Amino acid sequence: MTIFLTPKLETVLPKIKAIVQDQIIPLEADFLQHNFSKVKPKLEAIRQLVKQEGLWNPHLSSAHGGLGLSLVEFGQISEVLGHTPYGHYCFNCNAPDIGNQELILGNASEHIKDTFLAPLLKGNIRSCFSMTEPEFAGSNPTEMDTSAVKDGDNYIINGHKWFTSSADGASFAVVMANTNPDAENKYQRASMIVVPTDTKGFELVCNIPVMGEANDDYFSHGEVRYTNCKVPLKNLIGIEGAGFSLAQQRLGPGRIHHCMRWIGICERAFDLMCKHAASRDLGNGVKLGQKQSIQNFIAESRAEINAARFMVLHTALKIDNEGAKAARIEISTIKFYVANVLQRVLDRAVQTHGALGLTDYTVLSFWYRHERAARIYDGPDEVHKAALARQILKGYGLNTKVV
């Protein structure tokens, strides 16, 4: 979409595309059949190449060693990196690290930046984000039981979390815990605190099996218990009671990152679908792509991907110009819309490949398993649809209080 291209992107995008196509995608067969630790040495070599090319941390400002891109510009890079599961990792802008980096950069003390952020930006460590609890609805971050009680110069943290993604292999967690449980305003009860994973009382209970897999390290979703974890008060991010607002601040740009990554997945799935449709011989010289049902898959996917991309970049432009608060309606809209486009495009691609689509001989089944969560995390579809509808109906004078 040339209307969103900039001179800076015209310079760096071809370089990024070349690394993705020539260096990362050829490793897919390796990582689809092995765990992260098996392919990590090869990926580390690519990460060194990315650093040498001056493309490391593309999401950061130039002052922090990044490319100094706008959200619109980085969104287009995120799409390219989304063409392969390890694209963002190789450029050090993978979730949840990217969200933690932005959170700490904008809100944390120099102590936290020096101790935790500096090695994270270098790619020497990984991090995780620990908010969701199995005993409470994950769509409501004001409801949680994890507590952080002051004890002299320390916090004592107790609680139970799950879907703490990448806890396996992380050096620290950003933990959301109640520091002010009696605050009248429920949005000012929780805080965010950095907890090193080697802290006594930090327990990775297990990597939660998801769709039949309990992946290690990079793609893991950890269940974690905090039992009398003692960390210094100086590990607090921002001020006490700011946890909810920090979480919302973290999610605005994060949804652009996610949605553009999903569009990258869609483009790759679309390409695989079209190649298979054009080459698969059904006998008597007939190709699969000559069947009208497959042509419908291709046409519908092309239209939906194009629409989704425009919606997301338009939202990113509004955030760049007016801030995330001004783009709340657009953010909710793209979150559920693009997540559903992703699911439909992947499903069509799997269907087009037939039995091959169910195997790990292509990347499709991997994404089909792992990206079903897109309609759930960062707020389920139903929450975003309700929020969008309420904002619209307010303009028509309707009291949108839930009944």
How would you write the chain as a 3-class SS string?
A: CHHHCCHHHHHHHHHHHHHHHHHHHHHHHHHHHCCHHHHHHHHHHHHHHHHHCCCCCCCCCHHHCCCCCCHHHHHHHHHHHCCCCCHHHHCCCCCCHHHHHHHHHHHCCHHHHHHHHHHHHHCCCCEEEECCCCCCCCCCCCCCCCEEEEECCEEEEEEEEEEEECCCCCCEEEEEEECCCCCCCHHHCEEEEEEECCCCCEEEEEECCECCECCCHHHCEEEEEEEEEEEEHHHEECCCCCHHHHHHHHHHHHHHHHHHHHHHHHHHHHHHHHHHHHHCEEECCEEHHHCHHHHHHHHHHHHHHHHHHHHHHHHHHHHHHHCCHHHHHHHHHHHHHHHHHHHHHHHHHHHHHHHHHHCCCCCHHHHHHHHHHHHCCCCCHHHHHHHHHHHHHHCCCCCCCCC
Which domains does the chain carry? Answer: 2-94 (1.10.540.10), 127-241 (2.40.110.10), 247-394 (1.20.140.10)
Give strand pairing partners of 286: 283
Handedness of CA 370, 372, 376, 381 (dihedral sign): positive
Report the chain (403 residues): mean pLDDT per 10 consecutive residues: 88 97 93 81 96 97 94 97 96 95 95 98 96 88 93 98 94 97 93 98 94 76 97 97 89 86 98 98 95 98 98 96 90 95 98 96 94 91 91 88 66
pLDDT score recorded for residue 72? 96
pTM: 0.94
pLDDT score recorded for residue 190? 96
pLDDT score recorded for residue 138? 78
Q: How far is the C-alpha of 58 from the C-alpha of 93, rounded, in Å?
A: 7
pLDDT score recorded for residue 254? 83
